[in-house]
């Protein structure tokens, strides 16, 4: 058995990246899979760069496997696992998150390694039965907050992280290597090495659409993590995070989970039928840029990726919703957008309204009804109302709205 304390001192003295060296020595081995062909995550979020399902082999005197992968990649994963085992047998399969993209290969794993004990939270074991009808629960064990598992050279401490992003989620800390296995936390869209120099962009879109509703629960998990000495974060999606990238990820998660403003900017989101509402939105955006905001983003809710627009709405502290009246109500793309914001827990922001209608504009009133249900969202005055298209007489209204949203 390796003397981990000596190894850590040795690594620090000679400026060796401990985690990378350990991977080369195989106490921690990455056995995840890329899925470059997957077009939608959860059948709704666009994946221009695919997705990865991370899995890890932890080897002390005993061997633990950290999560399985989506059933699309079962065969590839089992091949990687067998190669990493080098003829040995795993003692434990730890299931931190029971969503099928991480647990979808459990049945196949059980068939290949029937003697391996499966560890998950109590809810995790329940979900395992729900997703795998008839699976035997013999050789399974529930793990709880603070439980430890000694592999002989590696000590795994389990941390409850409910609703990051399902209720059964556990994270795992390995103190000898100062590594946190964070389940869905700190994940991102894309294959493993997608956008290596820009983690935040797809991590932000991932966070607000996957975990955005559960900021309070994420903060509770972060409080637990901040008590630990963590050098490396190993999520179930996206790259392993070390050094400055780990520090930046922790900083951003602290902002995001508190619903704080990350960027001093304004999102101008429009749902326009014939282009006239869009023209008013674009002119308003120019007025806002002239007022010195760090970022003014214009989103076409009829065409742009809705998940990216949701991301921008949470990223910035101000938003203007510009919508045409349709069938005596809101044009459907705006309704979908506001419903999704409501679903994800949009709060603590300042919002302006612009409506368009030819004979009976009601979009502003209908938008207000939805937005008023959101926690601590201020709707500023004036509400701009245009008839059919933008007229010279409307310019003063737009300027007044730009001033109000800027305060």
Three-class SS of residue 366? helix
Return the CA Rg of the chain.
Answer: 25
| pLDDT value at 147 more than 80 | yes
**CA distance linking residue 372 with residue 347, whole number of Å:** 10
H or E element, residue 323: strand 316-326
Residues 269 and 173 in one domain: no
Residues 179 and 287 in one domain: no
Q: For residue 61, what pLDDT is reported?
A: 97
Residues 272 and 339 in one domain: yes
Choose one of 194, 226, 257: the last residue of a domain. Answer: 257
Residues 222 and 270 in one domain: no
The better pLDDT of the pair 1, 374 is held by 374
Q: Which residues contact 6 (CB under 8 A, 6 or more apart)?
A: none
Choose one of 242, 257, 272: the last residue of a domain. Answer: 257
| pLDDT value at 7 more than 60 | no
| pLDDT value at 127 more than 80 | yes
CATH number, domain of 187, equals: 3.60.15.10
Contact assessment for residue 69 and residue 79, using Cβ atoms and an 8 Å cutoff: no
Residues 168 and 294 in one domain: no
| pLDDT value at 21 more than 80 | no
Band of the pLDDT at 27, cuts 50, 70, 90? confident
**CA distance linking residue 92 with residue 96, whole number of Å:** 12
| Domain span including residue 155 | 4-257
| pLDDT value at 18 more than 50 | no
Residues 161 and 289 in one domain: no
Residues 41 and 101 in one domain: yes
- Per residue in 106-115, pLDDT (tens digit) is 999 999 999 9
Q: Smallest Cα–Cα separation from 68: which of 27, 109, 35, 34?
A: 109
The percentage of residues in the chain with a pLDDT greater than 90, rounded to a whole number, is: 92
Contact assessment for residue 66 and residue 102, using Cβ atoms and an 8 Å cutoff: no
Residues 216 and 320 in one domain: no
Residues 230 and 316 in one domain: no
Q: For residue 56, what pLDDT is reported?
A: 98
Residues 247 and 310 in one domain: no
Choose one of 257, 291, 309: the last residue of a domain. Answer: 257
Bridge partners (DSSP) of residue 63 are: 59
Residues 323 and 356 in one domain: yes
Q: For residue 206, what pLDDT is reported?
A: 98
Q: For residue 16, what pLDDT is reported?
A: 40
Q: Name the domain count of the chain.
A: 2
Q: For residue 165, what pLDDT is reported?
A: 87
- Following DSSP, what letter does each residue of 175-231 receive, concatenated? GGGTEEE-TTTT--SBSTTSSTT-HHHHHHHHHHHHTGGGHHHHHHHHHHHHTS--S
Q: For residue 144, what pLDDT is reported?
A: 98
Bridge partners (DSSP) of residue 91 are: none
| pLDDT value at 11 more than 70 | no
Rounded to two decimals, the pTM is 0.91
Q: For residue 14, what pLDDT is reported?
A: 37
| pLDDT value at 403 more than 60 | yes
- Give the mean pLDDT of 158-176: 97
| pLDDT value at 62 more than 70 | yes
**CA distance linking residue 151 with residue 10, whole number of Å:** 22
CATH number, domain of 344, equals: 3.40.50.360
Q: Compute the mean pLDDT over every residue in the chain, rounded to the nearest whole number.
A: 94
Beta strands 92-94 and 117-120: pairing type? parallel
Residues 201 and 271 in one domain: no
| pLDDT value at 256 more than 70 | yes
| pLDDT value at 326 more than 70 | yes
**CA distance linking residue 144 with residue 157, whole number of Å:** 10
| pLDDT value at 2 more than 90 | no
Q: For residue 25, what pLDDT is reported?
A: 40
- Per residue in 369-391, pLDDT (tens digit) is 999 999 999 999 999 999 999 99
The percentage of residues in the chain with a pLDDT greater than 70, rounded to a whole number, is: 94
Q: Which residues contact 227 (CB under 8 A, 6 or more apart)?
A: none
């Amino acid at each position: 058995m390796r003397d981990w304390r000596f190894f850590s001192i040795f690594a620090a003295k000679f400026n060796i990246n401990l985690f990378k060296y350990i991977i080369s020595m195989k106490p921690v081995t990455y056995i995840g899979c890329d899925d470059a062909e997957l077009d939608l995550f959860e059948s709704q979020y666009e994946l221009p760069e695919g997705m990865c399902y991370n899995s890890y082999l932890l080897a002390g005197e005993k061997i633990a496997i950290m999560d399985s992968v989506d059933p699309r990649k079962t065969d590839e994963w089992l091949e990687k696992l067998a190669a990493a085992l080098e003829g040995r047998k795993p003692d434990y399969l730890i299931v931190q998150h029971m969503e099928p993209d991480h647990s979808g290969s459990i049945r196949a794993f059980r068939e290949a390694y029937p003697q391996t004990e499966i560890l998950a939270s109590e809810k995790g074991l329940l979900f395992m039965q729900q997703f795998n009808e008839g699976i035997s629960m013999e050789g399974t064990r529930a793990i709880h907050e603070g439980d430890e598992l000694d592999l002989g050279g590696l000590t795994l401490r389990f941390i409850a992280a409910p609703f990051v992003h399902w209720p059964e989620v556990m994270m795992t800390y390995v103190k000898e290597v100062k590594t946190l296995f964070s389940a869905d936390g700190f994940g991102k869209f894309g294959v493993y090495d997608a956008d290596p120099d820009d983690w935040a962009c797809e991590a932000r879109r991932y966070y607000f659409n996957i975990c955005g509703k559960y900021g309070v629960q994420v903060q509770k998990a972060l409080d637990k993590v901040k008590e630990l000495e963590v050098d490396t974060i190993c999520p179930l999606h996206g790259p392993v995070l070390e050094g400055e990238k780990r520090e930046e990820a922790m900083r951003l998660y602290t902002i995001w989970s508190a619903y704080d403003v990350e960027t001093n900017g304004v999102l101008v989101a429009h749902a326009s039928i014939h282009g006239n509402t869009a023209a008013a939105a674009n002119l308003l955006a120019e007025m806002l840029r002239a007022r010195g905001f760090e970022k003014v983003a214009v989103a076409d809710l009829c065409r742009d990726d809705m998940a990216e627009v949701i991301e921008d709405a949470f990223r910035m502290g101000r938003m203007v919703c510009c919508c045409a009246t349709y069938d005596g109500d809101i044009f459907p793309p705006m309704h979908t957008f506001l419903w999704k914001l409501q679903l994800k827990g949009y709060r603590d922001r300042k919002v302006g309204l612009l409506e368009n209608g030819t004979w009976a504009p009601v979009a502003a009133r209908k938008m207000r009804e939805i937005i008023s249900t959101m926690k601590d969202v201020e709707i500023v005055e004036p509400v701009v109302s245009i008839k059919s298209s933008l007229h010279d007489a409307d310019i003063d209204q737009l300027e007044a709205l730009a001033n109000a949203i800027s305060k």
